[in-house]
Amino acid sequence: MMFKELFAGEVVTELLQQLNDISRKSCFYKSSALSLIRRIEELLPIIQELKYSGVELPAFRQSQLSHFSETLRGGLELARQVLGSGRWNVYKNVQLVRKMEKLEKQIERFIRGPMQAHLLADVHHMRFETMERFNRLEERLDSMNAGPGTSGRQGIEAEEDSNLGVFGGIGLEIGKSKVKKMLIERDDLSVVGIWGIGGSGKTTLANEIRRDNQVRSYFNNRILFLTVSQSPDLEQLRANIWGFITGNDDISHTSNIYLPQGKSQFEWGCGARTLVVLDDVWSLSVLEQLIFKVPTYKTLVISRCKFPKRVVNEVYEVELLREDESMSLFCHSAFGQKSIPPTGDATLVKQIVDECKGLPLALKVIGASLQDQPEMYWINARKRLSRGEPICESHENKLLDRMETSVECLKKKVKECFLDLGSFPEDKKIPLDVLVNMWVEIHNIDEEEAFAILLELSEKNLLTLVKDARAGDAFCSYYEISVTQHDVLRDLAIHLSNQGDVNDRKRLLMPRRDTELPREWEKNTDQPFNAQIVSVHTGEMREMDWFNMEFPKAEVLILNFSADEYFLPPFIDNMPKLRALIVINHGATEATLQNFSVFSNLANLRSLWLEKVVVPQLSNTTVPLRNLWKLSMVLCKVSNSLDPSVLDLPQIFPRLSELVIEYCDDLIKLPLSICKVNSLQSVSITNCHQLHELPADLGMLKKLQILRLYACPELKTLPPGIGELVGLKYLDISQCVNLKYLPREIGKLTSLEKIDMRDCLQIVSLPTPTILSNMKSLRRVICDEEVFGQWRNLEKAVPDLHVQVAEKWYSLEWLNG
């Protein structure tokens, strides 16, 4: 009776019914996920066969197939997330169940729709057309090889174009179709781009497009192909382009011919349609001078760099080859045929193809390097590739040296940051937080410059950013962004770093995980190693597995391993300048660290990252880290290390400025002594699902500017002392689903600029407008619809306030982010 009286009302009754339904459904979510995976794995090959059979489908059908296959791939990722989600993560499971139900309905509608009969009727025809297309491509290759090469105004064929088109033609059909539509069907696009990593087949695609009959007909055979390069003759290029547009082939950069500027170029718009292909463009300033604003003239730009949309209106990003396409291209280069010959070792060939990660140029060069070589040579090549080493001089000259051109144009500091990426394991996401911490320490830059360098490397296609849905917002955590890199680029970074004597290298790296340290290191222990960055990647390490090494200049140590137990290297004692230590366990469970006493000698350590380890008990006798300013513990067991009975944080970390605790499921409460660390400016306690209490004296942290409590579902209240955080600028309590209310003391936060309280399901009312109106610095609030109106009422008292309803991520679009 008391329960009903307390929660009376139709809204609450409806909510309880919904919660009951959700709880019942979530009990069966894993079996539903397995069923969904089986269904998708049956459908996806059929859809892929229809998409890539070689037949040019009508635009609306291609679009439907592409959208449906993307939906299916998203469904696989969703189902795997469901299987990997623990039963304790109730909020996440509820969201995943809803998304899975919606996906099942989408699949059912598509299967029962009119596309079923329409597409199946074409299967036989599409297979027949595919075989014909292969024959035509082979015939065309023979004629191309027999005919004379192009020169002069016809452009220079890139080296990568010689063989990639044979089997890349099928894989490039989608890209070719998309770029053709931009050029032919979109009158609003005057400049179109093809963007991709070096060696990905950009020039191949551009040449396929300019030879296409439909494209040639649309532009009346008026297509000019020019290679720009890193050191172009701008005046000659401009003269060539303008002469081609106007039909005056006699114009050259030495002629005294006026080249119109700006609006006066528009007067030439009555001429015939013209397409100029600019290959190998490296600079925005160069590109801007090669674009003429003539209505009947279009430019196709091929580059490894991404240019702003105001210059290049729309871009197609070249996709790497699929597994079957990669195998075909490699076999053509290595065996002169489309498949592995009966005498070939299929397992060995597949392992080498996998090392190329779908990059056409790597497949071509490495395949050609192995042609007619004995099996032992192939085995050695596989080992060298796994270590990031060139397999022969041809591989080094034709692939790595060519890829190096992407790095040569970088500024010195940006190039150094690129080379640092070779310090991390292949096929692993690198948290941006780790990179930024490292770059700040060793390159003498601030976080803003480090982030700018990251963006520059991304725009030049030297790394890939993987973002959380909220990444990029003001005050967002760098942990919400991670970095990936193609293995060939990583191999390039390792190759460039490993030049010179091992004792004199700036970076001492283990390219792949091994059971022991490299023998090359052990042979040279009689001399100090002058490396600034040391990266070790092993399995379990015991005390006897290490040998003595001296690192008088080392500032960064990265320890990657996969083990249940790990003995920290004794040579840490011989790193007097160590400023950043990164310890990452890639194993299935948290690893126990041994030899933690080495921390007692790290007087200069400023940044410590611990991931998936059992953090030992901290005390001021074993870990006096006097200069540590940032401590990050991710996926760790921390209950023992944060024992309030023995822990005196101000004594251990007197200069600690930033504390990050992520996904630590045994964190129940924070130690009281954290409130005495007066230097703290940022505290992030996120995805800690057992945290239920914050210290009452939290308000003692007068310098605190950022407080993140994201996704802590057991946290039910905020302490009144939060109102004493006079310097707080950002508060994140999003997805604290059991947080019942905001304390009235929150109105004292006069410096607060942003609050994120999305998915705080229990909060349905706010403190009075009179209390909240004191928050004069507040500029942005992200909240749910239930409290949106109450925050909007505050906009009159706080004129610069912007209130935003959080988006509900129920679609599958977030899987592509």
Residue 174 has pLDDT above 50, yes or no: yes
What pLDDT is attached to residue 4?
A: 44
Q: How far apart are the first and last CA of the chain?
A: 48
Coil, strand or helix at 575: coil
Number of C-alpha atoms within 13 angstroms, CB side, residue 651?
Answer: 10
The torsion of the CA quartet 413, 414, 418, 424, rounded to 10 degrees, works out to 60
Angle, alpha carbons 224-227-229 (nearest 5°): 155
pLDDT, position 142: 39
Residue 625: pLDDT band (50, 70, 90) is confident
Regarding predicted confidence, which is higher, 565 or 211?
565
Q: Write 227-232 long-range contacts (CB < 8 A, 24+).
A: 227/155, 227/156, 227/158, 227/279, 227/280, 228/278, 228/279, 228/280, 228/281, 228/282, 228/286, 228/287, 228/290, 229/280, 229/282, 230/280, 230/282, 230/283, 230/405, 230/408, 230/409, 232/286
Structure tokens of 716?
Answer: 């039910």
Tokens representing 395? 């591989």
- Rg of the chain in Å (alpha carbons): 30
pLDDT at position 202 is 83
Output the DSSP codes for 186-210: -TT-SEEEEE--TTSSHHHHHHHHH
How sure is the predictor about 123, in pLDDT bands with cuts at 50, 70 and 90? very low
Q: Whose structure tokens read 């189902």?
A: 79
* Res 36 pLDDT > 90: no
- Among the listed ranges 309-318, 578-587, 738-747, which one has the minimum average pLDDT value? 309-318
CA distance 510 to 426: 11
Q: Which domains does the chain have, with CATH numbers?
A: 2-123 (no CATH), 151-317 (3.40.50.300), 323-400 (1.10.8), 410-489 (1.10.10.10), 692-817 (3.80.10.10)
- Is residue 482 over pLDDT 70? yes
* C-alpha dist (Å) from residue 509 to 149, 502, 513, 605, 660: 44, 10, 11, 21, 27
Residue 809 to residue 813: CA distance in whole angstroms: 8
Q: Please state whether beta strands 730-732 and 754-756 pair in parallel, antiparallel, or not at all (unpaired).
A: parallel
- Is residue 369 predicted with pLDDT exceeding 50? yes
Reported as a pLDDT band with limits 50, 70 and 90, residue 256 is: very low
The pLDDT of residue 503: 94
pLDDT at 169 over 60: no
Q: What pLDDT does residue 86 have? A: 66
Strands (DSSP E) found in 407-555: 430-431, 464-467, 481-484, 507-509, 533-538
User: Two tokens at 144?
Assistant: 């191309």
Q: Give the span between the Cα atoms of 743 and 745, in whole angstroms.
A: 5
User: Which neighbouring-strand residues pair with 508?
Assistant: 534
Cβ atoms of residues 593 and 581 within 8 Å:
no
Left if phi > 0, otherwise alpha if psi is -120 to 50, otherwise beta: which for 229? left
Arithmetic mean of pLDDT, 546-573: 94
- Rounded CA gap, 501 and 505, in Å? 6
* Across 483-488, average pLDDT: 79
> For 327-330, which contacts have Cβ atoms below 8 Å and span 24 or more sequence positions?
327/353, 328/167, 329/163, 329/164, 329/166, 329/167, 329/168, 329/360, 329/363, 329/364, 329/367, 330/356, 330/363, 330/364, 330/366, 330/367
Q: Once rounded to an integer, what is the mean pLDDT over residues 357-386?
A: 81
Q: How confident is the model at residue 716 (pLDDT cuts 50, 70, 90)?
A: very high
pLDDT band, very low/low/confident/very high, at 130 (cuts 50, 70, 90): very low
Closest listed residue to residue 808, CA positions, set 107, 100, 99: 99
Instruction: Tell me the two tokens of residue 288.
Output: 């801007």
What are the pLDDT digits (tens) for 763-789?
Answer: 988 999 889 989 999 999 999 999 999
Token pair for 662: 């992520």
Confidence tier at 506 by pLDDT (50, 70, 90): very high
Distance CA 563, CA 592 (A): 9
